[in-house]
Amino acid sequence: MSAEPVARPAAPADEPARLLVDGTEVARYVLEPALDARHGPRPYLHPVRTLGGTVVTDALPADHVWHLGASLAVQDVNGSNLWGGRTYVRDVGYTWRDDHGVIAHTAEIERCPRRYAHDLQWRDRAGGVLLTERRQLTASVVASDVWRLDLDSVLTAPADREVRLGSPATNGRPGGAGYGGFFWRAAADGEPVAFTADAAGEETVNGSTAPWLALTGTGPGGGAYTLVFAGLGRGDRWFVRTGMYPGVCVAFAFDRPAVVPAGASRHGRYRVWLADGTLDRDGVAALGASAP
């Protein structure tokens, strides 16, 4: 992703970006949600749909109100909670703290039917800048019933200090709760199924480093869907939930903190194939093989 385009002033909060595939809106990107600070305000994708119209994201669900469709968020960024909800404190557990920051849209770079790019700041509760980011979202058609979302992100630390990214797991919570990163809260009627090329089920795929991970389920309107995720970076792991709620995360700090050195950048490219119907392993592998 190039950093050459010149930024324009931030778009108004009431103008979400829309991603289209062949004229069909497949995703809406909310830039500046008016949310309580405890919900981790940040840009997020919702609703996201298959080409057949099945909604595959959920936002502000009653069980975890701070789950916002598909978004980038981390619970511990140098001690600031940019995920939302309670903060996990070692030897104490989940605790409500006045430590919530915000991930703020600051400038628009490009807006067209299939692509949106912008600049952001990851800020602590006092408005101090923890990280800056340039992010690009791209929608592309794969087949008559499949499209792909690419999300490219470059997170840059301030020149004078490193930034540590943590999770409940790195702060002492057991049970593989290493969430935080590129997170997708899925919409599902019933319990979805998660699998990789050689494993299936939440307990076996959570924490894995498989090249891809698939989630099959049924949307709120009854339509079957398959989501295929790829894009683990060095040190990343899959965080997966299907029982408590349906969610998949490219987890930055699954079992140990991730560090962005002072003045350095963390690059990520996350891909999601969105297909109507239920694909098996061979069908998922074929999608991956079609990627440029």
Q: What does each of the 292 residues of the chain score in pLDDT, given as a tens digit? A: 444 444 544 445 458 999 999 999 999 999 999 999 999 999 999 999 999 999 999 999 999 999 999 999 999 999 999 999 999 999 999 999 999 999 999 999 999 999 999 999 999 999 999 999 999 999 999 999 999 999 999 999 999 999 999 999 999 999 999 999 999 999 999 999 999 999 999 999 999 999 999 999 999 989 999 999 999 999 999 999 999 999 999 999 999 999 999 999 999 999 999 999 999 999 998 887 666 5
pLDDT confidence of residue 1: 45
pTM comes to: 0.94
The angle subtended at Cα 187 by Cα 185 and Cα 189, nearest 5°, is 140
Confidence (pLDDT) at 15: 82
Q: Is residue 188 part of a domain?
A: yes
Q: With respect to residue 82, please indicate whether it lies within any of the assigned structural domains.
A: yes
Asked, for residue 165, whether it belongs to a domain, the answer is yes
Query: Is 85 a member of any domain?
Result: yes
Per-residue pLDDT at 287: 86
Sign of CA dihedral 97, 249, 190, 51: positive
Compute the distance between CA of residue 226 and CA of residue 214 in angstroms, rounded to an integer: 7
Asked if 168 and 191 count as a contact pair (C-beta separation under 8 A), the reply is no
Closest CA relative to residue 1, chosen from 121, 137, 112: 137
Dmax (CA) of the chain:
52
- Residue 204 falls inside a structural domain: yes
Domain membership of residue 1 (yes or no) is: no
Count the alpha carbons within 13 Å of 220 in the hemisphere toward its beta carbon.
9
User: Number of folded domains in the chain?
Assistant: 1
Which pLDDT belongs to residue 11? 47
3-state SS assignment for residue 253: coil
Q: Which range marks the domain in which residue 181 is found?
A: 8-289
Examine residue 46 and state whether it is found in any structural domain, yes or no. yes
**For residue 48, what is the enclosing H or E element?**
strand 44-48
In a domain, 213, yes or no: yes
Neighbours of 175 (CB within 10 A): 8
Residue position matching structure tokens 């309670």: 86
